[in-house]
Structure 1
Amino acid sequence: MNMKRFACGALAAVLLAVPALAADPGAPLAEGGEQDMVIGGGAPGFQLPQQRTLDPVELYGTVTSVLENGLLLARGDEKGDVVLHVSEKTAVVDAVTGESRSLEDVKESDTIYAWASPAMTRSLPPQTSAMVIVCNIPQDFHVPTYLEVQRVSRKEDGTVSALTNGSIVLHMNEDTELFSYQTKDAVGLDSIKPGAKVLAWYSMVAMSMPAQTTPSKVMVFPYDYAGWLSLNGVDDVAVNGEKLELPAVPYVEDEELMLPVRSLAEALGCEVTWSAERPDQIEVEKDGRSLYTLTIGGDTAVVEGDMVTELTRTVTAREGVTSVAASDLASLHDLKVESWGITF
């Protein structure tokens, strides 16, 4: 997912109340009361790693046909119809209750909202895979929004604020109804972490950059990253919220932050080894399984023993420390990169 850069500078936040309409998942902004927000934080002197996927696209419209493994959706705009493929990985959710539904619960002429892969076929109509479908939408109902958490701020009073990929900050506390997908079991605020995917119910938004809201309830989907990497500066790197102990200060090469392989891998419970026969090779294993192998001076990694992937920067060794670009390590370890540059 491409990381977003946010402009610095203070902006006034204005609270607003808007009518909740099924035709508009992002309620329009209007003036109202006040809410505090501070934008700041300097950008570190390196590029943020690119994420593994693009943001899903939001689609809405009327179901004109229920297919064997999908839906034909008529969108009320110039973009025309689209076929949504529905699989066992697709979350179908009741807009009101948050309960899990199935394709059989969606009928022709129903209005639905969906978040789908941005990759579409060139066919007519185009086809794509649905990640989340929200159905059973009453009229004049504010539809929940599917979001991925980019950064989390935890305050002493127990409040958790999560910046999401929709440029929306979700403010949550112990009174927020948090529950897991399908089971609806209650989950804690500790489940709100960088990379978490959520469905948030809210109807009031603050006019600010980013926008802010206090959701009434939040559905949390299973976490599908191995963890998260926080890059707050060249010498301030954390893994899963714990500051990384480094043998030396990381350095920047061609605008890429170079991180010690061993420090990051071991923080994730991996083992780093090499052999006397090939001292230029480093192997990273977890639970006895090879994750990847690096060669000092090389620009590729061998993943899981037999797959070769290109690296953005050459593997380097300085004073006995082997370093790899943060973007490559994030990809090799399947880590979410926590975004920077904003305080909320």
Structure 2
Amino acid sequence: MKKLLSAIVAIAVILNMSIVFAQEISAISAMPIIERPVYNVISTNGKIIEINKNQVRVLGEGAYNEIVLHVQDSAYILNAEDGTQIPFKDLKSGDTVTAYYGPKVTKSIPPQGNAIALIVGTPNKGSAGMYMKVANLEHNQDGSIKVLCTNSDRLVTIRPEIFAHTSDIKEGSELVVWYDIMTMSMPGQATATKVVLLPVKADIKVHIGAGTIILNGRELALSENDILKTNGDTVMLPLGVIAENLGYDVVWNSDTRTVDLQNGSRTMATVTIGSKDYGKLKMAIRLDYAPEIVNGKTLVPVEFFTDVLNLKVDINNSHI
């Protein structure tokens, strides 16, 4: 009898522990999942130690402690105190700088990349301005907006008394923002004390007549099968060569006839041959034209780059 009672007690204890464990697992499963940020823009904060033709070498702390950056016409060079533009020729060795650049860099020592923005100098008071590109924004009833940067790690509130024309800020806008304190949450949240909306610069320039594509100030090397094609009211551009030079991994799935643009393990965009529906992160966007395959290359409408990847594209027949 004692053995039977002991067995019953043991089973009861095990069942109780199982219920508690299951409840804990259920509670964990119910917790919101915060995705890790995707760093489309990385930075190094330090000093310029060398300047060459269209290049700066920066030594400091950040994604890379030493980096050589090519400074194309599309890059911003800005004063850290007020966001005014600085000519490249005015840069000096020893200048304090926060250099912003994309994640695609060479494996050389030091690594090399393309500058997005250089925020130069040290303000007499307060923090230096910080570059950010707007991924999403939310309009509030009091006229303020909340802007989430493309890295998904900063959410900044901009009040109308700080920046009067908040309606001018849209997805894809590039800003220099100043703030005093940021929360430790993900994303970190802050309220801007000053904002400068940067002038629009085309990320991609296309010369239809010459058949050339300029990406961030650099002409892309196109193969004979990388064609530009006018289709109705749009221009079809070769997806692979542009996406790869933007730093994406381009993955073709022959079973579904889809192309994924991946940043690390995260799929940033998806196109399906013959379908006008495009994937943008976890959203679906419908465009007027579907991607097609010509000469073994995937062509997409220019709106894919503007509406899905939030890039600025300039298409013309004049001299680039």
Band of TM-score, shorter chain? 0.5 to 0.7
Residue identity in the other structure for 1:107: K
8 A Cα contact 1:65 1:108, kept in partner: yes
Query: Cα 1:224–1:107, aligned 2, differ >3 Å: closer, same or farther?
Result: closer
Q: What displacement does 1:83 show?
A: 1.0
List alignment gaps of at least 5 residues for structure 2: 1-28, 204-229, 239-254, 260-269, 288-299, 311-320
- Could you list the per-position Cα deviations for residues 197-235 of structure 1 after superposition, in whole angstroms to 9, with x for gaps in the alignment? 211111122333322211122122244689xxxxxxxxx
Name the SS of the counterpart of 1:129 in structure 2.
strand
8 A Cα contact 1:116 1:128, kept in partner: yes
Partner of 1:154: 139
Partner of 1:125: 110
8 A Cα contact 1:71 1:85, kept in partner: yes
Task: Tell me, in whole angstroms, the C-alpha distance in 1 between the residues paired with 2:274 and 2:177.
Answer: 41
Name the SS of the counterpart of 1:113 in structure 2.
strand
Query: Cα 1:336–1:217, aligned 2, differ >3 Å: closer, same or farther?
Result: farther
Name the SS of the counterpart of 2:147 in structure 1.
strand
Matching residue within 108, 114, 131 for 2:93: 108
Name the SS of the counterpart of 1:104 in structure 2.
helix
Partner of 1:189: 166
Task: Tell me, in whole angstroms, the C-alpha distance in 2 between the residues paired with 1:147 and 1:116.
Answer: 11
Query: Cα 1:62–1:224, aligned 2, differ >3 Å: closer, same or farther?
Result: closer
- Could you list the per-position Cα deviations for residues 97-153 of structure 1 after superposition, in whole angstroms to 9, with x for gaps in the alignment? 211102222211222101112221222221111110011214774222211212221
Task: Tell me, in whole angstroms, the C-alpha distance in 1 between the residues paired with 2:171 and 2:71.
Answer: 27
Residues 1:313 and 2:262 are matched in the alignment: no
Aligned positions of 1:333-344 closer than 5 A: 333=303, 334-337=305-308
Name the SS of the counterpart of 1:204 in structure 2.
coil
Task: Tell me, in whole angstroms, the C-alpha distance in 2 between the residues paired with 1:124 and 1:114.
Answer: 18
Task: Tell me, in whole angstroms, the C-alpha distance in 1 between the residues paired with 2:109 and 2:74.
Answer: 25
Residues 1:285 and 2:232 are matched in the alignment: yes
Query: Cα 1:292–1:205, aligned 2, differ >3 Å: closer, same or farther?
Result: closer
Q: What displacement does 1:312 show?
A: 3.8
Name the SS of the counterpart of 2:183 in structure 1.
strand
8 A Cα contact 2:78 2:85, kept in partner: yes
8 A Cα contact 2:131 2:174, kept in partner: yes
Partner of 2:279: 326
Task: Tell me, in whole angstroms, the C-alpha distance in 2 between the residues paired with 1:77 and 1:170.
Answer: 21
Partner of 2:46: 61
List alignment gaps of at least 5 residues for structure 1: 1-7, 11-39, 44-52, 179-187, 227-282, 302-310, 317-322, 340-344
Partner of 2:130: 145
| Deviates further, 326-335 or 201-210 | 326-335
Larger proportion of helix: 2
Residues 1:168 and 2:121 are matched in the alignment: no
Query: Cα 1:217–1:122, aligned 2, differ >3 Å: closer, same or farther?
Result: same
Name the SS of the counterpart of 2:232 in structure 1.
strand
Task: Tell me, in whole angstroms, the C-alpha distance in 2 between the residues paired with 1:92 and 1:127.
Answer: 18
Residue identity in the other structure for 1:63: I
8 A Cα contact 2:44 2:63, kept in partner: no
Aligned positions of 1:89-104 closer than 5 A: 89-104=74-89
Bigger RCO of structures 1 and 2 (CA < 8 A, at least 6 apart) = 1
Partner of 1:206: 183
Residue identity in the other structure for 1:335: T
Partner of 1:253: none
Residue identity in the other structure for 2:279: A
- Could you list the per-position Cα deviations for residues 161-181 of structure 1 after superposition, in whole angstroms to 9, with x for gaps in the alignment? 112234222112221136xxx
Residue identity in the other structure for 2:97: I
Q: What displacement does 1:55 show?
A: 0.8
Residue identity in the other structure for 1:172: I
Residue identity in the other structure for 1:119: K
Instruction: Provide runs of 4+ in structure 1 moved above 6 Å.
Output: none
Task: Tell me, in whole angstroms, the C-alpha distance in 2 between the residues paired with 1:118 and 1:315.
Answer: 31
8 A Cα contact 2:42 2:63, kept in partner: no
Identity of aligned residues (%): 20
Residues 1:217 and 2:170 are matched in the alignment: no
Q: What displacement does 1:159 show?
A: 1.7
Task: Tell me, in whole angstroms, the C-alpha distance in 1 between the residues paired with 2:129 and 2:167.
Answer: 21
Matching residue within 114, 118, 121 for 1:136: 121
